[in-house]
Amino acid sequence: MHIRPVKSLRGEVRIPGDKSISHRSIMFGALSEGITEVTHFLRGADCLSTIDCFRRLGIDIEDTTDRILIHGKGLHGLHAPESVLDTGNSGTTTRLIAGILAGQPFTSTLTGDASIQKRPMERIMSPLMEMGADITSLNGNGCAPLRINGGRLKGIHYHSPVASAQVKSCVLLAGLYADSTVTVTEPALSRNHTELMLASFGAEVTSRETTVSIQPHPRLMGQKTEVPGDISSAAYFIAAGLLVPHSEILIHNTGINPTRDGILRAAKAMGADIRQLNIREVSGEPVCDLLVTSSALTGTIIEGSLIPALIDEIPVLAVMAAFAKGTTIIRDAAELKVKESDRIETIVTSLKAMGADITATPDGMIIHGGRQLHQAEIDARGDHRIAMASAIAGLCAQGGMILPDTGCIAVSYPDFLKDLEDLCVRDS
């Protein structure tokens, strides 16, 4: 795939549903009584993996063109799967489902693709084992495949060493099956979709600062839910609209939950002109339309508690920083190393290949922006966010960008390249 440079970007885009919320809608719908109806569900490969796993656990899930219908069977309605549960490339599916499976009266095995089989699962095995779960990494390396002998669980107060919504959510979901309250405290607040959505399905969840508690054995009831647009997908258009001169893009229906809106805060610190229009609520989540206008960006520091609120946007923020004037420092982001790829390495390698002045650090990177970037062939290493961030860099690089692997983009945004092309204004 050759991404060609553009003159400007103009128009409107409707981004797909939020990946995190789409996963949770299937999981919580499955554990509820009655039907859960989900609109604007993200049909990306990751969320389809979640659907597949719950079908294997005995849940009837209908996918009509405009909605997903989940015929929930309540907290105790899952059946033992007849085969291994394959979570594909999805860390969220793997870690959240593990918490649910730990509380079931049957044994199951979870595995995923080559990337999933390298990602750390001790971070969920350790709290689940503290709750009394019997869970084994079959290759003895702390990664999937995992065998989970579900059973009785006890309440704990878990102090997570990482600000991770996947870890927090895994423990909270296991907490649905525990014998007493389960509490999680994290070092910084990670995305809180599990807390908001589980409460709307009927769970008793209380949150205060970075601590959240859940009461066991609630009666969850099916809901009608609309998934807001994914700010992590909007991020590519935000960056493109800011970087490409003479651009103006209206991004409809973007989730702006404060635990996810770090990209907006970082971009504004860099001098971005982004206006939030028509702020409203969709299924308990704040949403708006974003009007993005080309801006001259300057370097910034991205660190501390801001990191969990923009963790998935760091690849595209690094692209913005490479075109900004001055230095950008990203730190406290060692979590990047355990994403779909080692993102410190993949970002630095890709931007260096294009001529950027960028250096990896143990927990982030330092980017001296402002160099003219040139064409390169970028190996996204099967990581959807690296592929999409590289495509945005290609719009502004001399000669564009060669991206041999665009298949991985389907993990979170199957129509990304088409939606991007629709906005492009080129010399005819």
- Binding residues for ligand S3P, rule: CB under 6 A, are 20, 91-92, 164-166, 169, 190-191, 311-312, 335
- Outline where DSSP puts E strands in 74-220: 85-86, 107-111, 134-137, 146-149, 157-159, 182-185, 205-208, 211-214
- Assess whether 312 carries a catalytic annotation: yes
Least Cβ distance, residue 123 to ligand S3P (angstroms): 8
Cα angle 229, 235, 240; round to 5: 125
Bond before 145 cis per omega within 30 degrees: yes
Q: How far apart are CA 210 and CA 159, in angstroms?
A: 10
Kindly tell me which of 357 and 363 has the beta carbon lying closer to ligand S3P. Answer: 363
Kindly tell me which of 25 and 92 has the beta carbon lying closer to ligand S3P. Answer: 92
Q: How far apart are CA 346 and CA 354, in angstroms?
A: 13
Kindly tell me which of 178 and 311 has the beta carbon lying closer to ligand S3P. Answer: 311
Helices and strands (H, E) in the chain, number of each type = 12, 23
Got the DSSP string for 342-384? -HHHHHHHHHHHTT-EEEEETTEEEEEE-PPPB--B---TT-H
Kindly list the strands in the beta sheet with 205-208, ordered across the sheet, starting from the edge strand earlier in the chain.
157-159, 182-185, 211-214, 205-208
- Residue number of the CB closest to ligand S3P reads 20
Least Cβ distance, residue 134 to ligand S3P (angstroms): 23
Kindly tell me which of 165 and 302 has the beta carbon lying closer to ligand S3P. Answer: 165
Angle of helix 384-396 relative to helix 343-353, nearest 10 degrees? 20
- Burial category of 298 from C-beta neighbours within 10 Å (exposed 0-12, middle 13-18, buried 19 and up): middle
Kindly tell me which of 20 and 341 has the beta carbon lying closer to ligand S3P. Answer: 20
- Burial category of 216 from C-beta neighbours within 10 Å (exposed 0-12, middle 13-18, buried 19 and up): buried
Tokens found for residue 270: 């860099």
The answer for 283, left when phi > 0, alpha when psi is -120 to 50, beta otherwise, is left
Least Cβ distance, residue 190 to ligand S3P (angstroms): 6
Give me the phi and psi of 212, to 5 degrees please: -135, 140
Kindly tell me which of 6 and 409 has the beta carbon lying closer to ligand S3P. Answer: 409
Q: How far apart are CA 396 and CA 399, in angstroms?
A: 9
Kindly tell me which of 93 and 104 has the beta carbon lying closer to ligand S3P. Answer: 93
Kindly list the strands in the beta sheet with 357-361, ordered across the sheet, starting from the edge strand earlier in the chain.
301-302, 326-330, 364-369, 357-361
CB neighbour list of residue 295: distance below 8 Å, 6 or more residues apart: 242, 270, 271, 272, 273
Evaluate whether 114 touches 93 at the Cβ level (below 8 Å).
no
Kindly tell me which of 238 and 244 has the beta carbon lying closer to ligand S3P. Answer: 238
Least Cβ distance, residue 364 to ligand S3P (angstroms): 15
Q: How far apart are CA 137 and CA 120, in angstroms?
A: 10
Catalytic residue among 230, 289, 312, 383: 312
Active site residues: 312
